[in-house]
Amino acid sequence: MTSKRTVTLHPDLPLTLTETGSDHGRPILVLHGGGGPATVAGLVEHLARSARVITPVHPGWQGAPRPDWLTGVDDLALTYLRHLHEQGLRDVVVVGSSFGGWVAAEMAVRDTVGLISGLVLIDAVGVHVEDEPIVDFFALDARGVADHAWHDSDRYFVDPATVPAAQLAARQSDMAALHTFAGDPYMHDPKLLRRLAGVHVPALLLWGAGDRIVTPAYGVAYSAAFANASLHIIPEAGHLPHIEQPEVTFALVDAHLHAIDTPSHASS
C-alpha cells in the first residue's frame, strides 16, 4: 500500500503526505531533515514492511506551500499533532532525522493527549550543548558539508558542477525553508532541553560516531534530558547513520519498536 495525498489543515496550509506499508500496522510518522524526504527513503522502505508509515513533506520543501505564519518548529510540531488527532491516530511512533528529530521532540513535549507512544531521534538538532556548537551548515560549501556530514565523505560528496541547475535551485529553496525554521536561534530551541523531562514515552537516540555537524555530545544531552531514553552511538557513520550504516540502524530501530509494542499490536 502506497498512496500520496494532500490534506488541508488550514485554508492556506495543504500538507503533502505519503503513506506506505500495512493498513493494520502501527502508525509511524517519519520526519525528514533539511535534505528532504529522499534522506529517509530507505528507512521508510524498511519500516513499511510491518508498519503504516506516514511521511510528510515539510511546508517549504520541494515547493510545498508554507504560509507566512508558519515560521517556527513549534508551529510545525502542532501542525503534525493536529493531523494525527484529526485522523484518529494513536499509539504513534515518531521517527525524526536531524531537523526532523527536533520536530519530533517538540511534538512529544506538546502531546497532551497521549497520541505518541515512542520516539526515535537520529542525529537530531534542536538543543544547545555548551562548548559544542552545531556547525553553521549554511556557511559550508559542498565539500565542507560532505566532510562534516559523512564518515566516508569521499563516497558521498557530490560536486555541484555535476548537478542539474533545476536540482540545485530546488536544494537552495529547501535550504531557505530550513533557514526560516531554524536560522534564529540557530538550530535549537533554548527551552527545549529542560522541557524534555516531562516526556515519558520511550525515546531512542541514535547518533553517528563521526557526525561533525551535531556531535554525539548532543545525543548524550538528549538522552539525559528525556525521562525514559537510551542512546546508541553507531560506528563508521556520520549525520545520517541510516544511510551509511543501515543494517545496524534498522536493527536498533526494530528492537526499540518491539520493546514498546502494545498488546493491541501484538495480537493483531
Q: What local confidence, expressed as pLDDT, does residue 2 receive?
A: 87
Please answer whether residues 7 and 14 qualify as being in contact, where contact means their C-beta atoms are separated by less than 8 angstroms.
yes
pLDDT score, position 262: 54
Can you tell me the mean pLDDT for 238-260?
A: 98
* pLDDT tens profile 97-127: 999 999 999 999 999 999 999 999 999 999 9
C-alpha of 131 from chain center = 24
Higher pLDDT, 215 or 10: 215
- Domain locations in the chain as residue ranges: 2-266
2-266: CATH class: alpha beta
Rg (the chain; Cα; Å):
17
Pairing of strands 27-31, 116-122: unpaired
Cα–Cα dist 40/196, whole Å: 24
Can you list the alpha helix ranges (DSSP code H) found in the chain? 41-47, 73-86, 99-110, 142-149, 153-156, 165-182, 192-195, 216-225, 241-244, 246-259, 263-266
- Residue 117 DSSP symbol: E
**Is the pLDDT assigned to residue 39 strictly greater than 60?**
yes
**What average pLDDT does range 133-154 have in this prediction?**
96
| Cell numbers linked to 86 | 484529526
pLDDT for 102: 99
Residues in the chain: 268
Query: Measured between alpha carbons, how far is 145 from 11 in angstroms, rounded to an integer?
Result: 37
Provide the 8-state DSSP code for 124.
-
At 261 the pLDDT is 83
Q: What is the pLDDT of residue 266?
A: 37
Average pLDDT over residues 64-87: 97
3-class secondary structure, 49:
coil
Q: What's the rounded mean pLDDT across residues 43-49? A: 98
Mean per-residue pLDDT for 147-164? Answer: 96
Is the pLDDT reported for residue 263 higher than 60? no
Residue 239 DSSP code:
S
Asked whether 39 and 240 are in contact (CB, 8 A), the reply is: yes
Enumerate residues 6+ apart whose C-beta is below 8 A from 168: 160
Mean pLDDT value of segment 35-58: 97
Burial class (CB in 10 A: 0-12, 13-18, 19+), 178: buried
Per-residue pLDDT tens over the stretch 187-210: 999 999 999 999 999 999 999 999
